[in-house]
Amino acid sequence: MRLESPTPDAPTAPRVEDGAPAPSAPGSTPVQKVAGVVIRFAGDSGDGMQLTGDRFTAETASLGNALATLPNFPAEIRAPQGTLPGVSSFQLQFADHVVLTPGDAPDVLVAMNPAALRANIADLPRGGVIIADADEFTRRSLQKVGYTVSPLEDGSLESYQVHALPLTSMTVEALKDSGLSRKDSERAKNMFALGMLSWLYDRPTEATERFLETKFAKKPQIRDANLTAFRAGWAFGETTEGFAVRYQVAPAEHPAGTYRNITGSTALAYGLATAAHKAGLPLVLGSYPITPASDILHALSGMKRFGVTTLQAEDEIAGVGIALGASFGGSLGVTTTSGPGLALKAETIGLAVMLELPLVVVDVQRGGPSTGLPTKTEQADLLQAMYGRNGESPLPVVAASSPTDCFTAAMEAVRIAVTYRTPVILLSDGYLANGSEPWALPSVADLPAIDPAQATGPNGAGDDGRPAFRPYLRDPETLARPWAVPGTPGLEHRIGGLEKADVTGEISYEPENHERMTGLRQAKVDGVAVPPLEVDDPVAPDGTRARVLVLGWGSTYGPIAAAVRDARAEGLQVARAHLRHLNPFPPGLGDALRAYDRVVLPEMNGGQLALLLRARYLVDVQSHGRVRGRPFSAGELLDVVRDAVAALPDTDSAAAASPAAGAVAESPQEARR
């Protein structure tokens, strides 16, 4: 067993900026500046890889690097130890320049056991760095994942830079005076690894020390053990000769402002609470725990001080029922869920469509159908959000595009719900929910106010000519009906799921009325004011414009933007646009679709937005739909863009492209249709 790196080569990152390493204090190890690095921490579900990743991210964020993260964990809380299904990983890209994705492939793989190595090695390009906990490469652990010989010893990893280090035993050694059992000491090995990586990449450690002190404040022995392991890992890096170089990634150029790192779910919770605050409404969340949406429930549950009430319901249906009841009472009713829960809530959402009350339904999408892939990401609930109710039941749909955008999207969903008295579905997904990135903090005072304009008196006249309350008399501009809250004298009225008579809100089975009301509900949603589509289409020096438009929605923003950036760097002319509003679509979308020879639409489903666009605008789009439970890589989408440009008729590049190249441009999903 090798206890140290077999070669004098240090880990390197592929994007070396300025040549030779230069000596630097402290310590004798030279420091090399690199532009960016992708690290993947991988281990058993119980190894604390998510925490390790989170802490490394926080250190990286506070250093001012641009970054994006991708946690990836199994649905099982503790799958059998050391097995492939039990592997949990956390990938992080950080750089001195704009980062749009967590990185297509890691430069560095930290593998805490053989299963982690086996599950992730295929993603690591040749030449990449492997840091493995050699102690865990025992015969039994190797056998569990089908290795007959240790890959650390059989030469199979020769094309990588392997650092096989006894992380577990070094941790135990560092904690020999802690009074902890060997087993408990071993549990701190993730902090040892974090300390070592923090040294290797020159991360500040104060925040992690503070974090450990707070997290384990009530368990001093555990606190001290983790701190000791963390510091020992750092010290090991400093003293070992195994790493010939350590690395620095300079802060990225961010616009001026105060920043923090934030996950999508936290940002979404803050967005909801901030919007309620700006509307002057109490927020009432009715929710049933479901992966990957529960973190929003957790976050809001801790925000009572901000007038946020959270009720953990007996089921998904009760969750949305509670929210709707609260909205009827004049609060901002919110429910949070994932795809299976959205299915259960459908009938109540339909009631909200009929009642025309504000309601925000957050769907953090995951792989489906049925239970599907609970911890993996997908965008396949779009059609469910649009149409998953009985009858003609239109409602606005808003999608967040990045972890930080979850804040803005949540505010937008609340604005629409309150202004137009309608349920709104806000789509996030597992990638946005758990992923994180730096966020330039907004100033709450500068955010736009939301006017709930609840009814205070009669809005019309009765048959006798006297002032009367007309529950379904609409605002001529928004088509919103009055929000008359119980407790308001003189406005007593009854609403319900039966069809309403126009203006009076009485029960009506009259055919003409039903058609009129159906039309009004649709017109109200169609008329929701949303900003026009912005197309990013830089004019080339020769004055020409792109002929290919890459369109996306939701969490594909990062990889699409990265792919388009890379395509432009190759000299390809490509336009890009991204949808926040799925219903109604933004003004200018139809024109934009028609303005390009080819519209490419990557989405993590079988082509759901493509279906909607074709139906709505009678324009074809080239769907690139994949459902692998993970975000697109920028590299994959770059290939899609290249192929789309190459397949254009009447261009040089098209001339070079064979018919086969055009076929390649079609997604596997499309090809199967």
Partner 1 sequence: MSTTTTPLGLPGVRSGTEDVPRLPEGTTLSKKDFTAANEVRWCPGCGDYAVLAAVQGFMPELGLRKENIVCISGIGCSSRFPYYLDTYGMHSIHGRAPAIATGLAASRPDLSVWVVTGDGDALSIGGNHLVHAMRRNVNMTILLFNNRIYGLTKGQYSPTSEVGKVTKSTPAGSVDAPFNPVSLALGAEATFVARTLDSDRKHLTSVLRAAAEHRGTSLVEIYQNCPIFNDGAFDVLKDSGEAQARLVRLEHGEEVRFGREDDQKVVVTAPGGGVEVVPAAEAAGRDVVVHDAAAADPTRAFALSRLDGPSMAHVPVGVFRAVARPTYDDLVRDQVDSARAEAGGPASDADLDALIAGGDTWVVR
Find the shortest distance in angstroms from Cβ 327 to partner 1.
8
Return the exposure string of 534-569: e unless at least 16 CB atoms fall within 10 Å of the residue's CB, then b.
Answer: ebebeeeeeeeebbbbbbbbbbbbbbbbbbbebbbe
580 binds partner 1, rule: CB under 8 A: no
Task: Evaluate whether 621 touches 601 at the Cβ level (below 8 Å).
Answer: yes
254 touches partner 1 by CB under 8 A: yes
Interface region with partner 1, contact rule CB under 8 A, candidates 166-174, 316-324, 424-432, 547-555: 316-324
Closest to partner 1 by CB, 376 vs 389, is: 389
**Which residues are bridge partners to 71 per DSSP?**
90
- How many residues in the chain? 673
Over the window 323 to 352, marking each residue x when it contacts partner 1 by CB under 8 A and - when it does not, the resulting string is: xxxxxxxxx-x-------------xx-xx-
Report, in Å, the least distance between residue 39 CB and partner 1. 19
Sheet containing strand 423-429, strands side by side: 308-312, 283-287, 332-337, 359-365, 423-429, 397-399, 581-583
482 binds partner 1 (CB under 8 A): no
Provide the token pair at 5.
Answer: 């790196």
Q: Would you state the structure tokens that stand for residue 643, as one six-digit string?
A: 């192929």
Among 14, 46, 64, 662, binds partner 1 (CB under 8 A): 64
- Candidates 162, 268, 417, 491; binder of partner 1 (CB under 8 A) is 491
Work out how close the CB of 157 gets to partner 1 at its nearest, in angstroms, rounded to a whole number: 36
The answer to whether 321 contacts partner 1 (rule: CB under 8 A) is: yes
- In the bound state with partner 1, the residue whose beta carbon lies nearer, of 155 and 489, is 489
**Among the listed residues 43, 155, 2, 103, the one whose alpha carbon sits nearest the alpha carbon of residue 437:** 103
The first and second tokens of residue 224, run together, are 């001290």
What is d(CA 120, CA 135) in angstroms, rounded to the nearest whole number?
A: 19
Query: In the range 40-59, which residues lie near partner 1 by CB under 8 A?
Result: 58
- Asked if residue 617 binds partner 1 (CB under 8 A), the reply is no
Looking at this protein, which amino acid is placed at residue 639?
Answer: D
Measured from the CB atom, the residue of 168 and 428 that comes closer to partner 1 is 428
Confirm or reject binding of residue 494 to partner 1 (CB under 8 A): yes
Contacts (Cβ under 8 Å, ≥6 apart) of 464? none
Q: Is 612 in the site for partner 1 (CB under 8 A)?
A: no
291 binds partner 1 (CB under 8 A): no
DSSP 526-569: HT---PPP-EE-PPPTTS---SEEEEEEGGGHHHHHHHHHHHHH
How many whole angstroms separate alpha carbon 113 and alpha carbon 140? Answer: 11
Three-state DSSP class for residue 668: helix
Side chain identity, residue 298: H
The residue from 3, 444, 529, 540 that contacts partner 1 (CB under 8 A) is 444
Residues contacting partner 1: total by CB under 8 A: 74
Looking at 165-173, 248-256, 413-421, 535-543, which segment touches partner 1 (CB under 8 A)?
248-256
Nearest to 517 by CA among 544, 498, 539: 498
Q: What CA–CA distances, in Å, run from 411 to 282, 358, 447, 587?
A: 14, 13, 9, 20
Among 489, 541, 571, 659, binds partner 1 (CB under 8 A): 489
Query: Would you state the structure tokens that stand for residue 97, as one six-digit string?
Result: 């320049």
Helix (H, G, I), strand (E, B), or coil: what is residue 619? coil
Separation between Cα atoms, residue 587 and residue 591, nearest integer Å = 9
Range 91-120, binding partner 1 (CB under 8 A): none
Choose one: 28-36, 143-151, 413-421, 492-500; the region binding partner 1 (CB under 8 A).
Answer: 492-500
Question: Does residue 282 interact with partner 1 by CB under 8 A?
Answer: yes
Task: Report the distance separating Cα 420 and Cα 352, nearest Å.
Answer: 12
Q: Which stretch binds partner 1 (CB under 8 A): 128-136, 141-149, 313-321, 420-428?
A: 313-321
Applying CB under 8 A, does 492 fall inside the site for partner 1? yes
Interface with partner 1 in residues 398-417 (CB under 8 A): 407
Q: Where does this chain touch partner 1 (CB under 8 A) — which range of 88-96, 251-259, 379-387, 553-561?
A: 251-259
CA 475 to chain centre: 36
Nearer to partner 1, 62 or 518 (CB): 62
Q: Does the protein bind partner 1 through residue 33 (CB under 8 A)?
A: no
Is residue 672 within the footprint of partner 1 (CB under 8 A)? no
| 115-123, 158-166, 270-278, 362-370 -> range binding partner 1 (CB under 8 A) | 270-278
Tokens of 409: 């999207």
Site membership for partner 1, residue 149 (CB under 8 A): no
Instruction: Return the SS3 of 491.
Output: coil
DSSP 574-601: EEEEEESEEESPPTTHHHHHHHSSEEEE
Assigned token pair, 100: 């749009």
Give the whole-angstrom CA distance, residue 88 versus residue 356.
Answer: 44
Return the residue of 441, 529, 655, 663 that touches partner 1, per CB under 8 A. 441
The answer to whether residue 207 forms part of the interface with partner 1 (CB under 8 A) is yes
Residue 504-523 contact track with partner 1, rule CB under 8 A, x = bound: --xx----------------
| Binding segment toward partner 1, per CB under 8 A, in 137-145, 301-309, 578-586, 633-641 | 301-309
The yes or no reply on residue 466 touching partner 1 (CB under 8 A) is: no
Confirm or reject binding of residue 85 to partner 1 (CB under 8 A). Answer: no
- Least separation in angstroms between CB 640 and partner 1: 34
Contact 405, 557 (CB under 8 A): yes
Q: Residue 619 interacts with partner 1 (CB under 8 A)? A: no
* In the complex, minimum distance from the CB of residue 267 to partner 1, in angstroms, rounded to a whole number: 8
- Min. distance of Cβ 325 from partner 1 in angstroms? 3
By CB under 8 A, tell whether 486 contacts partner 1.
yes
450 Cβ partners below 8 Å, 6+ apart?
275, 278, 279, 414, 415, 418, 419
Instruction: State the minimum distance, in angstroms, from the CB of residue 314 to partner 1.
Output: 4
Q: What tokens were used for 486?
A: 């119980």
Measured from the CB atom, the residue of 485 and 619 that comes closer to partner 1 is 485
Residue 249: DSSP 8-state: E
